[in-house]
Structure 1
Amino acid sequence: MNPGATGADHAGDGAPHSDTALAPVKVWDWPVRVFHWLAVACFAGAWLTAESERLHLVHITLGYTLGGLVAFRVLWGLLDTGHARFANFVRSPAAAWRYVTSLLGERPLHYTGHNPAGALAIVALLGLIALTVGLGWATETERLPGWLDEGHELAANALMALVVVHLVGVAVGSLRHRENLPRAMLTGLKRGLPGEGIRRQHGWLGALVLICALGFWAWQWHSAPVATGQDAALMGGDHDQDDDD
């Protein structure tokens, strides 16, 4: 039996539970929700500023923030005792396939926390984010050999593709379970059995994560070099010279 699952494979735990027997319970604590939406904002911002020279510092800042968020999420996935704990939701590829195929049936398997397919996507997303940020740092500090200069961009493109797959999965899951999964990540509430809700929301830790991110952004902003009038003139002169060429 899969813990936290309701549906046909719950028969080993007594009578199967239908979706109608479930009630809203608190599933996602504040650290998970703050991590999720900060990661969404940082990835979107980093993607949109990737080709901008003027916003290069913003791109770097958001990328490094993503790296810090991934480090926190891995640590929280090891220390937490609720639905955020990796051991409580990461399952085998076979379980993920069983869940995906159940979506085609009349009674898709319902998981109070992450479903097995979503869990694999989350692990892959965390790994790809870490790889993308690491390659970006190596590129920025010129620590990569020449033939790996494009590695950061390739990793970012792979990450975007996986994000799209994840969003499709969220949309399909929301429709099949008649449950707004993005809203659940905002409110922390999902349908489940009364005993499956979390007892502590760790609001102080969620606030600390947000404060650390905002503090890092402020530090980056204040430590950024300020362009002088002479620098602007030199840049303008370079552009004029390029035009003459």
Structure 2
Amino acid sequence: MNNTKQILIWDPLLRIFHALLAVCFLAAYYVEDDMLKLHVLLGSIVFGLIIFRLFWGIFGTEHARFSDFIYSITQIKNHLLSLVFWKPSHHSGHTPAGGVMIFFLLAGLLILTISGIMLYGLENDVIPFAHRMADMNLDSIIFIEQLHSLIADTLILAVLLHIAGVLVESILQQQNLMKAMITGYKKVRSQHHER
């Protein structure tokens, strides 16, 4: 990459969030029902992290804000085409494809954790769900369980796609984007770069 400079893109809170989210989600998925208390604890941490990220997406630093990676359908399509032709468009923060993935993961994780909280509350008579157990039929509870499992499995596939996308972008941009998420620094064009 010619005429580039290293700049801080990912703030420390965003990097800590990213690491904690990855560890807690994958660990919760792995332990699942075998260690229910640990699964619930990890899921609760994920829920708290998502709430933090929603806050940080509005009030955080420039590249943490949702407004930094909301792209039009045309921009997303053009970015994906640039990848197909091995001529990626450059963005200092999230790419259009990355932005779509972030919104998908956040929405999926929010639904996953809320369904998990509901299940735990219903099955363990935890307030405010205890009184709802009598109102819900078995089919509704089974539906929530199946939804929870389906979303978890879908999110695992999305995480794998996210990692694959980061690897492809790293190769095409000739920089280690995984390292950039760890250090916070990314190479960007010094004269011009897309947002």
Shorter-chain TM-score bucket reads 0.7 to 0.9
CA contact (8 A) 1:23 1:194 kept: yes
1:42 Cα offset (Å): 0.4
TM-score, structure 2 length as denominator? 0.84
CA contact (8 A) 2:11 2:61 kept: no
CA contact (8 A) 1:33 1:186 kept: yes
Deviations 1:41-66 (A, max 9, x none): 001110110131xx211111111101
Structure 1 gaps of 5+ residues are: 1-18, 197-245
How far apart, in 1, do the equivalents of 2:59 and 2:190 lie? 23
How far apart, in 1, do the equivalents of 2:110 and 2:84 lie? 33
CA contact (8 A) 1:50 1:59 kept: yes
How far apart, in 2, do the equivalents of 1:133 and 1:93 lie? 29
Which amino acid is 2:120 matched to? Answer: E
Runs of 4+ in 1 over 2 A off after TM superposition: 104-107, 143-147, 193-196
Deviations 1:86-111 (A, max 9, x none): 11122123211211111233532111
Q: Say yes or no: does 1:182 pair with 2:178.
A: yes
Deviations 1:13-57 (A, max 9, x none): xxxxxx3111111111011101000000001110110131xx211
Structure 2 counterpart SS, 1:111: coil
Which amino acid is 1:157 matched to? Answer: D
CA contact (8 A) 2:76 2:96 kept: yes
Which amino acid is 2:50 matched to? Answer: V
Q: 2:152 aligns with which of 141, 152, 156?
A: 156
How far apart, in 2, do the equivalents of 1:189 and 1:77 lie? 19
CA contact (8 A) 1:25 1:194 kept: no
CA contact (8 A) 1:25 1:193 kept: no
Q: How does 1:57-96 map to 2 (within 5 A)?
A: 57-96=37-76
1:170 Cα offset (Å): 0.8
Matched positions, count: 176
Deviations 1:203-239 (A, max 9, x none): xxxxxxxxxxxxxxxxxxxxxxxxxxxxxxxxxxxxx
Among all aligned residue pairs of Structure 1 and Structure 2, give the percentage whose two residues are the same amino acid: 31
How far apart, in 1, do the equivalents of 2:58 and 2:141 lie? 37
Q: 2:17 aligns with which of 35, 38, 49?
A: 35
Structure 2 gaps of 5+ residues are: 123-128, 130-135
TM-score, structure 1 length as denominator? 0.68
Deviations 1:99-156 (A, max 9, x none): 1111233532111100000000000000000000011111111156234132211111
CA contact (8 A) 2:112 2:148 kept: yes
CA contact (8 A) 2:119 2:141 kept: no
How far apart, in 2, do the equivalents of 1:146 and 1:47 lie? 20
Which amino acid is 1:183 matched to? Answer: K
How far apart, in 1, do the equivalents of 2:102 and 2:72 lie? 13
Q: Say yes or no: does 1:146 pair with 2:119.
A: no
Structure 2 counterpart SS, 1:150: helix
Q: How does 1:148-227 map to 2 (within 5 A)?
A: 148=143, 149-193=145-189
1:159 Cα offset (Å): 1.1
Bigger Rg, structure 1 or 2: 1
